[in-house]
Amino acid sequence: MTALLSIRDLRIAYRRDGIEVPALKGVSLDMEAGERLAIIGESGSGKSTLALAVAGLLARGSEIDGTINWKIPKSQAPHSFALPSVLPDISPTRGEISSSAAGSPPATPAVGETDRDSSISPQVGEMSGRTEGGAVERQPFHLHDRPLLLGRDIGFVFQDPSSSLDPVMPIGKQIAEVARTHLDLTWREAYAKAKTLLQRVRLPDPDSALHAYPHQLSGGQKQRVAIAAAIAAGPKILIADEATSALDTIVQAEIVALIRRLVSEDGMTLIFISHDIALAASLADRIAVLRRGELIELGETSQIVNAPQQAYTRALLDAHLGLDAEPQLDRQGTSA
């Protein structure tokens, strides 16, 4: 079994007012192609940092150490990509990356030694604010062979579609732009593709929706558009970072169903970031539990839900207030 994604001892810290704040403290995990992995954790667990690091979207000034290796099955030969070189100012750590990668399993060749490695450039992160769903217009720094590209290989869905969609651009154009950039389409083809995508994400009346602006849509519809843009270039990996947290329960269920359908139709690999263990369990094959920057438990969904090894995971499960079990709240006031 070869891993699509292999993360080894990933450490990330942000600098704030000159103080280094660790966000991830040595996380290692592997993902297989076509797998649906949920990463759950509470605020400050580092789950979003992990998602951003995997997509190469980390903010300028983050300290990164460790490796993130990809093998894209689409291309013939297995390629390995070093992602931690997200920023020019941490590029000296490339040396560290190759040396640490040398210690990783043989399935992942040492990054610094292969001529096929390439990296996601920091521009990817800069662009994400404007173009939606991880659309990228600029090319990365190192174009050795075939760089892993956000938008083309990775689709990213953010929590808040209002801030990830361009408010002054018709949504059809925003989606078409992604398709045109990555698939070498003409505008006419890209618009046809955008319309198909809007149909796929079940947006009512896709013809007129092409010319609508984000403010004319509801929160759930905007998130559908964001998903359409994220999958416009047919990425192999879809990352959804709290993509349903800002939505109400009914819309959340619809968006989760949409993601599930699209992932299975296109055979995409899914990384689903959530704070909601029940939601994660409804979607994922495996669940990774993060706490304060550390991966404390990783296992099959049924194992995590039914036989959690860690007390923290058990506490998360117990804290869930569903409709199926008695809420474990102290209603009678036996304690003050």
Among 88, 105, 129, 327, binds another protein (CB under 8 A): 327
Applying CB under 8 A, does 165 fall inside the site for another protein? no
Among 78, 170, 219, 299, binds another protein (CB under 8 A): 219
CB 68 within 8 Å of CB 119: no
Applying CB under 8 A, does 192 fall inside the site for another protein? no
Applying CB under 8 A, does 204 fall inside the site for another protein? no
Q: Where does this chain touch another protein (CB under 8 A) — which range of 74-82, 134-142, 155-163, 248-256? A: 248-256
Applying CB under 8 A, does 115 fall inside the site for another protein? no
Give the SS3 label for residue 240: strand
Q: CA 20 → CA 23, 28, 99, 122, 147, distances in Å?
A: 9, 21, 24, 20, 30
Instruction: Give the strand pairing for 237-241 and 269-274.
Output: parallel
What is d(CA 128, CA 113) in angstroms, rounded to the nearest whole number?
A: 30
Q: Where in 282-301 is the site for another protein (CB under 8 A)?
A: 282
Applying CB under 8 A, does 330 fall inside the site for another protein? yes
The 10 Å Cβ neighbour count of residue 209 is: 24
What is d(CA 152, CA 183) in angstroms, rounded to the nearest whole number?
A: 8
Applying CB under 8 A, does 321 fall inside the site for another protein? yes
Q: Which is nearer to another protein, 113 or 248 (CB)?
A: 248
CA angle 257, 255, 216 (to 5 degrees): 145
Nearest CA to 259 among 250, 278, 272? 272
Applying CB under 8 A, does 277 fall inside the site for another protein? yes
Among 117, 251, 260, 261, binds another protein (CB under 8 A): 251
In the complex, which residues of this chain contact another protein (CB under 8 A)? 16-17, 42-43, 218-219, 247-254, 256, 275-279, 281-282, 305-306, 315-317, 319-325, 327-331, 333, 336
